[in-house]
Structure 1
Amino acid sequence: MHSGILNINKKKGISSARCVSLVRKALNQKKVGHTGTLDLEASGVLPIVVGKATRVSDYMMGKDKTYRSLIEFGKKTDTLDGAGKVIGQSSKTITRMDLEKALEKFRGEITQIPPMYSALKVGGKKLYDLARAGVEIDRKKRKVTIYDIKLIDFDFPYANIEVTCSKGTYIRTLVDDLGEYLETYAYVKELSRTRVGDFLLEDAIKSDDILEIGKDSLIGRLESIDKALDNFPSYGLEKKYFDQVINGMTIKIEDEINSLARIYVGEEFIGLGKSIKSKDGYFLKMEKVFYDRQD
């Protein structure tokens, strides 16, 4: 079994689950997953976790992300993107200066209400399934952070923006709220995710190419599991401790590790661990072992 993370560029119009299915087929391996759904109407970076890397999917979901969005002002759709039907129109004209001032209001910590057309589950049911059935329910507000938001170009009624944000941010909601703030309507006409953590669009494999480039080429493009954990400090051990560490045995160490750290034996990444203190000093305790011994 192979393990690692594939940086996939999902094309518009196919689901995140479809990308997982393509990778599963290409690698002939069942243990494959994604790290958070990318909208059907969106394209861009979709990290796919393979083998033991499926255990770091939650860490990948927590990464900050960057999006490029083409906005059309003067219209509102029921899905907040181009796939929906127009349910509101406005003839109000806004200027570049109006928009730049408005964007400043959305920088920092903001509150959003998740859209009905989303994969978020409430009571075990996905919101978009309820929305398609004509059911709308109350959704809890959530705080998200917009680290940066900038105007790339503007030609009314269209504008291109780039947004760097925390996990859980809905760009469709952001754009809809932006339109409301400007006392008009706005929806996402096009959306591309250009970055998830250190996974960049320019390095990604096109989803159309997954079955074309061959199994060996895909395996060669697998990123190491620890790339998903680069926000944790690292701690190294000598090679003589290898068997003890991968088997979860405690090892006496010189240093205190206050929080989880990436543990390496020599150059091999093993997993996440931290120190425990006793009267005899500090001991390393592995919390999660990701090392995949290829026999």
Structure 2
Amino acid sequence: MGNRRKKRSPEQRDGLLVLNKPSGPTSADCLNDIKHQLKQFKIGHAGTLDPLASGVLLVMLGNGTKLAPYLSGATKTYCGTFRLGITTDTLDIQGKTVSETEVTATKEDVEREILYWKELTEQEVPAYSAAKHEGKPLYSLAREGKETPVKIKPIVISHVEVLDVQAKEASFRVSCSAGTYIRSLVHSLGTRIGCGAVLTSLNREQSEPFGLDHTHTLANVLENPESFSDKVIPLGETLPHWPRFHLTEPLAGLVKNGAWLPVNDEPGELLAGVLGDRAMILDHLGSPLALVEAKIQDNILKWGILRGLWSQG
């Protein structure tokens, strides 16, 4: 019996598409459209967006799916709005109303509580979320009317900005660690103020290192298949914030065989780095070979392979 590998479609690209997701469809809906209409059968994304949310969605294609752990953990920046005096089961305006309360909070109260987000170090995961319990998404348990376990997760809020506060509405900008639920931030604010609050709109402005200025709309991607390749960031340029090293053929051959190369301690030189640094290694033609990290092996600082990127044929 031979090794039965799934046949690759001739249209399959390798790299990254920075999509401007529209509000409405799920992230999975957007990927399915690209997958089937453009024959991108090997596809994934780095950090889902709720149906209500729009903005930067990093879509990984072909060998680009290997980058998932290195793109999905990046800081995200959002601009959003919320409404006071209401709570829903999903914590956003699209859910079923649970309570309605008179709003007595002042503008100063609301501004203070938005800025308080920066003090938070953990949050409760919403019942309607893709987080899993015993292998099953919480949203499917919630939809079945079953009790969802309370899950607490650590978060880091690195920047908070109050944009506008009106009688019952407010807008904000927030930068946070990957996986932070903005719905939960709004819900916690509503609880602290005492009248409840729900998220009414959300736009992801950045998923580091890519922002809205790098994006393509879903409609434009699907309606212009002939220019799809031009919209895909090549694999070698998908981590622009990482150093890149172009190797000679002999060194590239060693990397393909799994060898760890010594770290050069001369700044600016080939393979230069310090403990903990990460880099992308490319061959002499510019094709990506591997993602590496500077680690100690046998008391020597070497570039250890995190993930091979070369095409396996």
Give TM-score, length-normalised by structure 1: 0.88
Compare 260-269 and 187-196 and name the one that shifted more. 260-269
Q: Secondary structure at the match of 1:106?
A: helix
Instruction: State the match for 1:218 in structure 2.
Output: 228
Q: Secondary structure at the match of 2:50?
A: coil
Q: 1:148 aligns with which of 159, 163, 171?
A: 159
Compare 95-104 and 145-154 and name the one that shifted more. 95-104
Instruction: State the match for 1:118 in structure 2.
Output: 129
Pair 1:227–1:146, CA change in 2 (3 A): farther
For residues 111 and 283 of structure 1, what CA distance do their matches in structure 2 show? Answer: 36
For residues 252 and 197 of structure 1, what CA distance do their matches in structure 2 show? Answer: 28
Q: Secondary structure at the match of 1:152?
A: strand
Q: Is the counterpart of residue 19 in structure 1 residue 30 in structure 2?
A: yes
What's the CA shift for 1:270?
A: 2.3
Q: Is the counterpart of residue 187 in structure 1 residue 187 in structure 2?
A: no
- Partner letter of residue 220 of structure 1? D
Instruction: State the match for 1:200 in structure 2.
Output: 211
Instruction: State the match for 1:101 in structure 2.
Output: 112
What's the CA shift for 1:84?
A: 0.9
Instruction: State the match for 1:81 in structure 2.
Output: 92
Instruction: Choose between structure 1 and 2: higher strand proportion.
Output: 1
Pair 1:245–1:40, CA change in 2 (3 A): farther
C-alpha contact (below 8 Å) 2:19/2:56 kept by paired residues? yes
Instruction: State the match for 2:305 in structure 1.
Output: 286
Q: Secondary structure at the match of 2:164?
A: strand
For residues 29 and 197 of structure 1, what CA distance do their matches in structure 2 show? Answer: 24
For residues 135 and 283 of structure 1, what CA distance do their matches in structure 2 show? Answer: 51
- Partner letter of residue 35 of structure 1? A
Instruction: State the match for 1:250 in structure 2.
Output: 259
- Partner letter of residue 156 of structure 1? A
C-alpha contact (below 8 Å) 1:66/1:193 kept by paired residues? yes
For residues 250 and 292 of structure 1, what CA distance do their matches in structure 2 show? Answer: 17
- Alignment coverage as a number of residue pairs: 291
Q: Secondary structure at the match of 1:22?
A: helix
- Partner letter of residue 28 of structure 1? K
What's the CA shift for 1:238?
A: 3.9
Structure of higher RCO (CA pairs closer than 8 Å, 6+ residues apart): 1
What's the CA shift for 1:40?
A: 1.2
Pair 1:283–1:200, CA change in 2 (3 A): closer
Identical-residue share of aligned pairs (%): 29
C-alpha contact (below 8 Å) 2:115/2:162 kept by paired residues? no
Instruction: State the match for 2:291 in structure 1.
Output: 272
Superposed, 1:28-47 pairs within 5 Å as 28-47=39-58
Show structure 2 runs of 5+ residues with no match. Answer: 1-11, 266-272
Give TM-score, length-normalised by structure 2: 0.84
Q: Secondary structure at the match of 2:34?
A: helix
Q: Secondary structure at the match of 1:188?
A: strand
Instruction: State the match for 2:175 in structure 1.
Output: 164
Q: Is the counterpart of residue 261 in structure 1 residue 272 in structure 2?
A: no
For residues 257 and 119 of structure 2, what CA distance do their matches in structure 1 show? Answer: 42
Q: Secondary structure at the match of 2:77?
A: strand
- Partner letter of residue 74 of structure 1? G
For residues 65 and 191 of structure 1, what CA distance do their matches in structure 2 show? Answer: 12
Pair 1:241–1:251, CA change in 2 (3 A): farther
